[in-house]
Amino acid sequence: MLIFGHCRLTMTNIGEKVVCLVAYHIFFMLFVWSYWKTIFTLPMNPSKEFHLSYSDKESLEREPRGESQQEVLRRAAKDLPIYTRTMSGAIRYCDRCHLVKPDRCHHCSVCDKCILKMDHHCPWVNNCVGFSNYKFFLLFLAYSLLYCLFIAATDLQYFIKFWTNGLPDTQAKFHIMFLFFAAAMFSVSLSSLFGYHCWLVSKNKSTLEVFRAPIFHHRTDKNGFSLGFSKNLRQVFGDEKKYWLLPVFSSLGDGCSFPTCLVNQDPEQASTPGGLNSTCKNENHLFPAKPLRDSQSHLLTDTHSWSDIGAKAEKGKVGMSNPALTMENET
């Protein structure tokens, strides 16, 4: 109602009123649409293939920590497309959800469930921000910022007149003062938050990964999932640019597997399990990295198949123990 009062009582030019109200409603509808999608889009959880079977869960609970539990996790993770590990090199396992965590998946203590590509739990939208609604959250920040900037910009000249006594003494004077201060304050806070998440998108990171970098086979790599600015952007917004500015889901992939810059960087490293670089060439990995899903593999510049090589490496290592592979709980 404040914006209507501002247009009706302050603006004298009819064209200015029409342009202001049309632009205002466009920004407002996009803001509400993206906010709605951020709130009511359910966070995606790991698929059934990542859950332990009933017999595996019984074995895990019955056996003491050690080789027996390692064997259970080996059997559960052998066909899963996972690359990341815990700090000790163990498979990332959630003992609350009883599943092997996909890459970039974390357990939310508020929702009490594992969330795919979890960024953070946002109290302002009362929802987890993750793979399924991260694009909506970004657009919500963008349109909130544009909404506030538009109000502040259209109100600025009248705000100056307010302090120079250039406005008639009407109730609209208080509308102008309140609108400008509120819009300006929200613009400052939103611009910093939106800028931070734009940086995260450009680096293909989540908020959690900034504070705790992902670990790939005993190696921490803070840029392990970064594929370059263009591909990082497409991973969140999709390949079709016509959907980029609309709060409709267009992100690439299924949220369970992600391409990594550590895979297939050098054709000469194809014989190395998981396509790791030369610093890991001599490591004896019991869990070679698995092929990416079709929806993700096209993001990689080198698309030649290496799954057969990884399978052969797995076959030659059956029955070998790995003392570094201990079950470790992780949030």
Catalytic residue numbers, as ranges = 122
Note whether 135 and 236 are within 8 A (CB): yes
162's tokens = 């307010």
Strand, helix or coil at 199? helix
List the 219-220 sheet strands across, edge first. Answer: 84-85, 215-216, 219-220
Note whether 169 and 9 are within 8 A (CB): no
Note whether 59 and 317 are within 8 A (CB): no
The residues, any chain, with a CB within 8 Å of residue 101's CB and separated by 6 or more, are 46, 50, 82, 92, 93, 94, 107, 114, 330
Note whether 285 and 90 are within 8 A (CB): no
DSSP class of residue 213 equals: -
Q: How many Å apart are CA 250 and CA 238, to the nearest integer?
A: 5
Q: How many Å apart are CA 267 and CA 77, to the nearest integer?
A: 26
Q: How many Å apart are CA 173 and CA 18, to the nearest integer?
A: 21
DSSP class of residue 302 equals: -
